[in-house]
Structure 1
Amino acid sequence: MPLVAPTTIQKVSGESQVEVPDLLAVEEPLEIRLGFGPTSNRQQKSVSVTMRTPGNDEELAMGFLFTEGIIHQPADIVSCRHCVQDAQKEGNVLRVELHPDVIVDWSRLERNTFTSSSCGLCGKATIEAVRALTPGPLASEFAVDAAILHSLAERVREAQLAFAYTGGIHAAALFDANGKLVLVREDIGRHNALDKLIGAAFWQNWLPMGQFGVFLSGRIGMELVQKSWMAGVPLLAAVGAPSSLAVQMAQEAQMTLAGFVRNERFNLYSEPARVRLAQMV
């Protein structure tokens, strides 16, 4: 399935109007189904339906299942492929077959549906729920020069092929301490783009990602910090602003959180020591 779809628009400039061709970011539902249980009694269950941009669907599923605590290593997966039995849903149903020895804790999928607001006990309870799934505070020695963060927005934008055509798609990028872009994934959903990135790293046995940072093209919600914490990411940077609960969670995780990373500026909300500033002369 393509990442972009053609359309015709009426383009208005001032008082003039002209019909021109245009491209849109494709949005389609993806249903993730799990095959699980012992060899003698295999079962199937739908665990999620998300609106996404087609492409890297296997990585999206693996990233989602990892950050929800359902899988922990590539060996937990026997196969991951699209279902073709239902012609009406062709390309939009992905079945992940788990190893027979994997025990699925279904309560995790239920209790990890977090509220996005930070309101006293609600925020504390949410952070405690995430902490229970993680290995604890991040102790990585990963650090980058401020100049690297300054350069990320433009370099990631140049790597966004779908965004160049549509202007309506998010990116998540993995970069190393030298600023090299290791992976870039795009999706119409911010969470899906990060799931795809984490899923790709998961499949390559790069988790926990203590030697990498992640850059996001949008704002930073709590769920994005949660996913990054689960994956062991020590530095999360984004073009947009973080929410209050995102900052609280980053502080709990001892994760460096950088927001408004654009136009040679950024704000550091937690663990600023991982960003090296040039010495004043």
Structure 2
Amino acid sequence: MQTEEAKKKKKSHNDYYLQQKERPPSPIEIQYNSHITHFWIMARPLAVPPHLNPLRLKTTLKMAISKLKFIQEKKTAITKQQRRQLSELLSQGKESSSKIRVENIIRDDIYIELLEILELYCELLLARLPILLERTTVEKNLQEAVNSIIYSANHTELKELITIKDILIYKFGGPEFAQPILDNKNGEEVPEKVVKRCDIEPPSETLVDLYLCEIARAYNVPYSGLKEEEATNATGDKNNNDDNDDDDDDDGGQKEFGLAEPLGGVAVKPVFKNHDPKIQEESDFDALKARFAALKGTSP
């Protein structure tokens, strides 16, 4: 058992510490504490992203490729089902509702295209992983893949892509390396095909109408926009035929074009430019039409 003297001594120590705690610090103590705090901040290790472990990066790339393929298959199956449901709405004459719902299909298709591009970039980085790890700067033939993953990782639902993005940023210079890519001010850092598919702008009326036309053709259901498109195409064909008839002579022969004599013996071929905005606009969606090729033989 403690003696009375020991208890008094302990109590006096406790009272002293309480008094020291309650009193304001002296200027000397403030200066001392500030030096200690500054030294601790400067001496502690900085927060480091995932370590650039070759095995970790290789494993993450493989997992990202696997998940990208899985999500593409899942989204594709969902969009096929949504197209079938949309064809039922068109058959019932509910075009206003169809135009609203088709926007989800368009967004999913654009997202699937983004995942396809990122899958190719991940496969490229995986194939050239030794080069990627050996160099301190990005190789020119890997610049597009690295920049695209850094720019678009946050636009996807894959944690693996975000991990790859953090590793690449840490590897090639930190925030100073990543910021110009994320800003993409001049549009030169990231390919336009990636930037467009990361954009969340609502689809244009032309794109909505084109989607509904393709769905109506694939499932053989009525749609007013399909009739307008066929009428426009028929009018364009008729105008082309009329132009060809004007070039013929009265005796049924074809009118000769008067071409100037080529200079320097170089054969010059006449170039006919098409200024029809309708044809130019449709050419931008050739890739889109190819997406529905698998649905041509599908019955609702």
Q: TM-score range by the shorter chain?
A: under 0.3
- TM-score normalised per structure 2: 0.19
- TM-score normalised per structure 1: 0.19
* Larger RCO, structures 1/2 (Cα 8 Å, 6+ apart): 2
Bigger Rg, structure 1 or 2: 2
Structure 1 or 2: larger helix share? 2
